[in-house]
Every structure is written in C-alpha cells, then in structure tokens.
C-alpha cells in the first residue's frame, strides 16, 4: 500500500521522544502530586460507581465495574490503566518502573482477563521516550533506562491479557510503540491526534524491535516509508494504513474499547493466549536473545558527544518556549 508524502511537522514534546507540546495538558510536571500512573485493581474500594482502584504515583489502574457486570456471564474482569504523567505522559524511568509493577500485579491477578490502556492527560496518549533520561546522565543510567524500555515492551507485547489501546490523544514514538503492542487499537477522530514512529525527525533511529512491530502491523513497504520519513499519521490515514483498527468520535473511544473487549473475551483464554504467543514469540525472541547487545548499542549511541549536544539544544529550546 502506498503512502502519499505530505507536510509532516514535528510535534514538540516536553522533553520526550516524539513531541506533543501543543497537543497535551500543560500542567507543571511537579504540580498536583507529581506525574502519575494510577492502578485500580488491588486496593480497597474507593471513588465513585464502586470502581476499585489502586494508586501508584504515575499510573491509575481502575477496575471497570460496569464492564464487569456487563461481561459477568463470560467470567471476565477488565482493568483500565490510565497514564498520568503530565504534561505529556513521557516515558520516564519512574513512570516505566511503576507501570511495569502495575502490569505485573494485574497479570498475576487472575480476576483480570482484559486491560484497556488510555490516558488521563487530555490530548495526549503518550509522547514517548523522556529525553531528559537520555541527556547528561552517566552510562549506567542510560543502560538502566533502556532496560526498562525493553521490559515494558516485552511485558505488553507478550501479556496473556487482552490489551486494547483506547488512544485519546497524540501518540508519537514510544507512545506509538505502546499502542502497537496492544491487541486492538481504537483512536479518537481528531486530526491533532497523530500517531507514528517519528524518531528520524529528531535525528534518532528507531530500534530494530520498534521496526519489527511496525512491520508486523502495516507491512514492510509501508513501514519502510513511514520509518524513513518519520511519518505521523492523522486518524483517517492511520486507519487506512492499518496502524489502528477503528477511528471513532472522541466521546466514544472508551465505550468502543469495552465493546471490542466483549468480542475478544468471548474466546476461551487458553486458545487465544496460545495463538497470541504463536504469532508474537518470534518477534519478542528477536530482542530477548540480544537484549544486552541492544542496551550497549543504545548506550554507545546516546552517549556520543554529537547526540548529547543535539539533545541539550532541543531541551533548551523547550525550556525557552515555556518562559
């Protein structure tokens, strides 16, 4: 499938990989209790509508009681993880650590068979890698950060749960990777909500496993075109190329995600899980067998003087725009 080349401006981020400054909430990251991923599956009941939730600082996980009742005859439970790391849900090391812990808790709680990924920050799903984690740190920190990125992807991509991405905002770079790792993607119909792996626009090369996931999703030629040009697709374009499965009005993203979940959870878990593993294992193994080499490649690349200078210039420009 061909992709028409067009004007594709960089969407600027608040210190994160693909950039979404104009598309997200503009809160001070240090305000309102800091950034957050909230998780709502384990703690005692709290909040409205009887939803159970447990809270970490950067992730909100909620168990959807309405969905639980609706699907009760199927013996199912659905949790929702909402990214809450303002202003742009950048994938900081702290965010990733909390997200992994939340995901493991849900994975180990057999009450939950389905998980919806979405954002608590208006206008942004996730802006991707946090460039502040890649600039001015020591080599050990870069290695720790990249290992956390790898671990996050592996846990998402190989999860036994049904994962539905309810994409309610812009999703460049690492945010796009998280969405692509889901089993099904629903994107809000807003032309400002672009999605894609746009690393080349920032002078960065998408890792081979980012590439593998994109190729698996939209095919080799379309992926080659998109990766080299750093394309960010508007919703209709993302649907056409196969990057998302549905585009719906913004106020219907969550309800559509729940409806999709109904269909997926009607399939016996063992059959669906074995099929998912069969389809995805080779792609995951491609990273697993060379994780340390991939980490060293990242550390070697990001620690170059030229890359550090480029990141410093970019981050300084963002600071100046804030003032």
Q: Which residues are catalytic?
A: 129, 174, 198-199
- Supply angle C-alpha 176, 158, 131, rounded to 5: 35
- Give the integer Cα–Cα distance in Å for 187 and 245: 8
The distance of Cα 37 from the centroid of its chain, to the nearest Å, equals: 12
Question: What are the start-end ranges of the H helices in 122-172?
Answer: 139-157
Contacts of 139 (CB under 8 A, 6+ apart): 299, 303
**β-sheet with 123-124: strand ranges across:** 123-124, 169-172, 195-196
CB distance 176 to 195 below 8 Å: yes
Dump the DSSP string for 158-169.
Answer: T-SSEEEEEE-E
Parallel, antiparallel, or unpaired for β 52-63 and 78-84? antiparallel
Contacts of 93 (CB under 8 A, 6+ apart): 130, 133, 144, 145, 148
- Give the integer Cα–Cα distance in Å for 2 and 106: 40
């Amino acid at each position: 499938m061909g992709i028409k080349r067009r004007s594709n401006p960089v969407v600027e981020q608040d210190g994160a990989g693909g950039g979404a400054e104009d598309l997200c909430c503009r809160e001070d990251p240090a305000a309102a209790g800091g950034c957050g991923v909230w998780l709502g599956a384990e703690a005692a009941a709290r909040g409205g509508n009887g939803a159970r939730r447990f809270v970490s600082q950067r992730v909100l996980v909620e168990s959807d009681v309405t969905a639980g009742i609706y699907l009760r005859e199927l013996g199912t439970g659905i949790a929702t993880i909402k990214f809450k790391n303002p202003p742009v849900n950048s994938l900081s090391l702290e965010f990733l650590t909390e997200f992994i812990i939340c995901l493991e808790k849900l994975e180990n709680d057999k009450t939950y068979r389905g998980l919806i990924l979405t954002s608590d920050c208006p206008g942004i799903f996730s802006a991707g890698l946090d460039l502040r984690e890649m600039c001015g740190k020591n080599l050990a920190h870069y290695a720790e950060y990249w290992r956390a990125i790898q671990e996050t992807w592996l846990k998402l991509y190989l999860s036994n749960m049904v994962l539905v991405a309810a994409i309610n905002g812009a999703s460049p770079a690492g945010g796009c990777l998280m969405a692509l790792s889901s089993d099904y993607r629903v994107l809000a119909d807003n032309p400002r909500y672009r999605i894609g792996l746009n690393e080349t626009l920032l002078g960065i090369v998408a890792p081979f496993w980012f590439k593998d996931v994109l190729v698996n999703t939209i095919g080799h030629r379309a992926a080659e075109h998109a990766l080299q040009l750093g394309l960010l697709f508007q919703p209709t374009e993302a649907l056409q190329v196969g990057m998302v499965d549905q585009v719906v009005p913004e106020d219907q993203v969550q309800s559509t995600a729940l409806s999709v979940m109904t269909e997926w959870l009607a399939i016996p878990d063992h059959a669906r899980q074995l099929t998912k593993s069969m389809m995805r294992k080779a792609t995951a193994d491609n990273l697993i067998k060379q994780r340390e080499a991939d980490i060293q490649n990242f550390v070697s690349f990001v620690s170059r003087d030229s890359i550090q200078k480029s990141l410093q210039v970019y981050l300084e420009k963002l600071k100046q725009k804030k003032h």
